[in-house]
A and B are shown apart, each in its own frame.
Chain A
Amino acid sequence: MPVPAAVTVEGKNMHDRSVEERLKDFNEVDGGMSVDEAMGEAERCLQCKKPLCVKGCPVNIDIPSFIREIAAGNFRRSAVIIKEQNMLPAICGRVCPQETQCEGQCLLGIKDKPIAIGALERFIADWERTNGAVIPQKKSPRGHRVAVVGAGPSGLTAASELARLGYHVTLFESLHAAGGVLMYGIPAFRLPKSIVKAEIEAVMSLGVELKLNHLVGRSVPVKELLNYDAVFIGTGAGLPYFMGIPGENLPGVYSANEFLTRINMMHADKFPEYDTPVKRGNKVVVAGGGNVAMDAARVARRLGGDVTLVYRRRDEDLPARKAEIARAKEEGVKFVCCTNPVKVLGEQAVTGVECVKMEMCDLDASGRPEPAPVAGSEFTIEADVFIGAIGQGPNPLLINEIPALKRGKRGNIIVDENGRTSIRNVFAGGDVATGAATVILAMGNAKNAAHAIDRMFREE
Chain B
Amino acid sequence: MKGLYRVERKEQLADKIYQMWIRAPHVAHHAQAGQFVMIRLDEKGERIPLTISATDGDSFRVIFMAVGKTTTHLAAFKAGDHVSDVAGPLGKPSDVKKYGTCVLVGGGVGSANLPIIARAAKALGNRVIGIIGARNASMVIVEDEMKNACDEFHLATDDGSKGFHGFAADVLKQVMAQEKVDAVWIIGPAIMMKVTAECTRAAGIKTFVSLNPIMVDGTGMCGSCRVTVGGETKFACVDGPEFDAHKVDFAALMQRLRIYTGEEKVSLERYQAKHACACGCDCGGEKHA
B-contacting residues of A (Cβ < 8 Å)? 174-176, 178, 184, 201, 204, 210-215, 218-221, 238-240, 242, 248-252, 254-255, 257-258, 261-262, 266-267, 271-277, 279, 348, 395-397
Contacts and interface: CB of A to CB of B under 8 A. Distances in A.
A249 B253 CA distance: 9
Contacts of A210: 1
Interface string B218-242: 0111111010100001000010000
Contact of B46 (A214, A276, A396): A276
Given A175-B217, A261-B222, A272-B267, A219 B44 contact: no
A184 B216 CA distance: 11
B160 to A, nearest CB: 36
B220 A213 contact: no
A262 B217 CA distance: 9
A291 B46 CA distance: 26
A239 B267 contact: no
B219 A395 contact: yes
Given A275-B45, A348-B255, 12 more contacts: A175-B87, A176-B3, A176-B84, A213-B26, A251-B259, A262-B216, A272-B267, A272-B270, A277-B260, A279-B259, A395-B219, A397-B220
Interface residues of B, number: 45
Contacts of B266: 272
A240 B84 contact: no
Contacts of B1: 178, 201, 204, 210, 212
Contact of A212 (B2, B47, B222, B256): B2
A213 B223 contact: no
Q: Which of A175, A238, A266 has the most chain B CB within a 10 Å cutoff?
A: A175
Given A219-B87, A251-B255, A275 B222 contact: no
A266 B226 CA distance: 19
A249 B252 contact: yes
B207 interface: no
A261 B217 contact: yes
Contact of A238 (B24, B27, B220): B220
B132 to A, nearest CB: 29
Contact of B228 (A213, A215, A249): A249
Given A215-B88, A348-B255, A275 B69 contact: yes
A274 B88 CA distance: 23
Nearest to B43: A274
Contacts of A211: 3, 26
A221 B216 CA distance: 23
Contact of B87 (A176, A204, A255, A348): A176
A255 B233 CA distance: 13
Contacts of A257: 221-223
B258 interface: yes
